[in-house]
Amino acid sequence: MLSKFSKNLIIDESNQCVSCGLCLPHCPTYRVLKSEADSPRGRIALMNGVANGRIALNARFIQHMDRCLTCRACEAVCPNNVSYGRLIDETRALIADQSKSVASARKSNWRIALERLLLTQPTRLDRLRRLLHFLQKNEWLRGLRRSSLIKNKRIFKFIIQLPVVKFPYAAAAENTASNGSAWRVVYPAQGEKRGEVALFLGCVARVTDVATLNSSIYVLNRLGYTVHIPRNQMCCGAIYQHSGALEQANALVQRNKSVFAEFDTVISTASGCGVQLLESGVAGEQGEVIDISHFLMAAKGWESIHIAPLAQKILVHEPCSLRHVLREQAYPYQLIARIPGAAAVPLAGNDQCCGAAGTYFIDQPEIADTLLQNKITTVKESKAQYLVTSNIGCAMHIANGLYENGIHVEVLHPVTLLARQMGLEL
């Protein structure tokens, strides 16, 4: 049975849709599948039908909901401001509440166990860093690529192709990374102190995107900002939120609220996490959650910073969360423009999702691969050597696609490229 609260919420919000169809050409799944049921307008009609009892909540309905990337491109163009993101999250929560006969196939037991072990306790990922580094250093993971055991196991292929594992700073002032697993609680500002900020580490990024986290600390310190990294911060909860596990997501949100309560500014380096932190109110009424590129463009002190030139074309990928929700896609271009000689160029098709979308590339591989191939083609045609993106999931998804197609383009966060030109050795 639908809960009265969810039923009324879905009915009220879905009734705001006037079925104008302006969202259709902006929806990645509609463009790929050409199915009305896989468009925002069609999904909203289905949600309304289920909430009103006209349509059964069956496997076919679940399939159409699961195919949604939650890219929220439809929200950005909706003339009636329908909160599609909230609608799809609430609908997936209803699906998750149904009997196992309806929803059991949506997640394997090992996936559930992995999420509980790692996403709810991100410090375990810090300890996992050493193991992955050891396996990469000895090329054991590379050897597994030829194994038939992982040939059709997408998650294992993903792990094998993880970027080279790096380690947190020993000290920002030393301009080096340590071989330890623990982040320092405080990284003091260098020179004139201009403020204090808290840095959100995320979960997967603790292992796969340490370069961006180190780079953010380095640049912030150089500009005069002391960086705090609270010990007990958790996963942002987005993976739970978008799979319908709203209670688990809220539990993580509440933990993060208590951890970041004393800070006025919380900086996120991954736009997907930034959206979750912002919309869940982690920073409280008096604080702010802000993307690293946005914060750095508003920061003072650049006149004293030397940035080495880089006469290259830099492709800029705009993650859906940055473009459609935060509406802050201009800042990475501005950040790259601080590098003398660098030319920031939009990646063609930035209005369309790359197919990563959290765990979507694992759950819906065929659609994800179709969307990814569009990006790979445009990157190849660009003949660029660098591609920057502001979301770790997108970065890994695109980088893996480039690797499998034999295309040698470095994929990194814009702040990582900037820090490198400022002298950081990763």
The backbone torsions φ and ψ at residue 351, rounded to the nearest 5 degrees and listed phi first, read: -80, -5
The label of the residue with tokens 């003949």 reads 383
CA distance 353 to 74: 12
Residue 188 lies in a domain: no
**Which of 106, 124, 153 is the C-terminal boundary of a domain?**
106
Give the pLDDT score at 107: 58
Question: Cα(357)–Cα(271) distance, rounded to whole angstroms?
Answer: 12
Pairing of strands 186-187, 225-228: antiparallel
Continuous segment of H or E residues that includes residue 197: strand 195-200
C-alpha triplet 224, 230, 233: angle, nearest 5°: 135
For every residue of 202-261, DSSP letters joined together read -STHHHH-HHHHHHHHHHHHHTTEEEE--TT----SHHHHHTT-HHHHHHHHHHHHHHHT
- Which of these three, 63, 89, 106, is where a domain ends? 106
DSSP code, position 324 = I
237 within some domain: no
- Whether residue 393 lies inside any domain: the answer is yes
Would you say residue 130 lies in a domain? no
What CA–CA distance (Å, rounded) separates 236 from 273? 6
Query: What's the rounded Cα separation, in Å, for the pair 56 and 37?
Result: 14
How far is C-alpha 68 from the chain's CA centre? 16
Report how far residue 72's alpha carbon sits from residue 87's, in angstroms, rounded to the nearest whole number. 11
* 335 in Cβ contact with 418 (< 8 Å): yes
What are 381's two structure tokens? 């045609």
Looking at residue 149, what is its pLDDT? 56
Which CATH number do you get for residue 83?
1.10.1060.10
CATH code of the domain covering residue 401: 3.40.50.1860
Q: Could you tell me the CA-to-CA distances from 278 to 59, 168, 271, 389 in Å, in that order?
A: 33, 25, 10, 20
* Residue with the two structure tokens 């978008």: 242
Residues 203-230 as b or e (16 or more Cβ within 10 Å = b): bbbbbbbbbbbbbbbbbbbbbbbbbbbb
Q: Is residue 387 part of a domain?
A: yes
| Contact criterion met (CB below 8 Å) for 100 and 62 | no
Closest of 332, 325, 319 to residue 395, by C-alpha = 319
- Looking at residue 243, what is its pLDDT? 87
Place of tokens 């329908």: 82
Question: How far does CA 324 lie from the centroid of its chain?
Answer: 13
Task: Output the pLDDT for position 175.
Answer: 44
- Beta bridge partners, 171, equal 176
Q: Is residue 205 part of a domain?
A: no
Predicted confidence pLDDT, tens digits, the chain (426 residues): 455 557 889 999 999 999 999 999 999 999 999 999 999 999 999 999 999 999 999 999 999 999 999 999 999 999 999 999 999 999 999 898 875 555 445 555 556 666 666 666 777 777 777 777 666 666 655 555 555 555 556 666 666 666 677 778 665 444 444 445 678 999 999 988 999 999 999 988 888 889 999 999 999 999 999 999 998 899 999 989 998 889 889 999 999 999 999 999 999 999 999 999 999 999 887 799 999 999 999 999 999 999 999 999 999 999 999 999 999 999 999 999 999 999 999 999 999 999 999 889 888 999 999 999 999 999 999 989 999 999 999 999 999 899 889 999 999 999 999 999 999 987
Of 415, 416, 226, the residue nearest 331 (C-alpha): 415
Give how many domains the chain has, as a whole number: 2
> Does residue 177 fall inside a structural domain?
no
Domain residue limits at 367: 307-421
- φ and ψ at residue 237, rounded to 5 degrees: 95, 0
Q: How many residues does the chain have?
A: 426
| Residue 263 pLDDT | 95
CB 353 within 8 A of CB 389: no
Three-class secondary structure of residue 21 per DSSP = coil
Query: Which of 106, 135, 158 is the last residue in one of the domains?
Result: 106
**Per the domain annotation, does 55 fall within a domain?**
yes
pLDDT of residue 136: 65
341: Cβ contacts below 8 Å, ≥ 6 apart: 309, 310, 311, 312
**190-194 contacts: CB < 8 A, separation 24 or more?**
190/221, 190/222, 190/224, 191/222, 191/224, 191/301, 191/304, 192/224, 192/301, 193/224, 193/225, 193/226, 194/223, 194/224, 194/225, 194/299, 194/300, 194/301
pLDDT at 178: 45
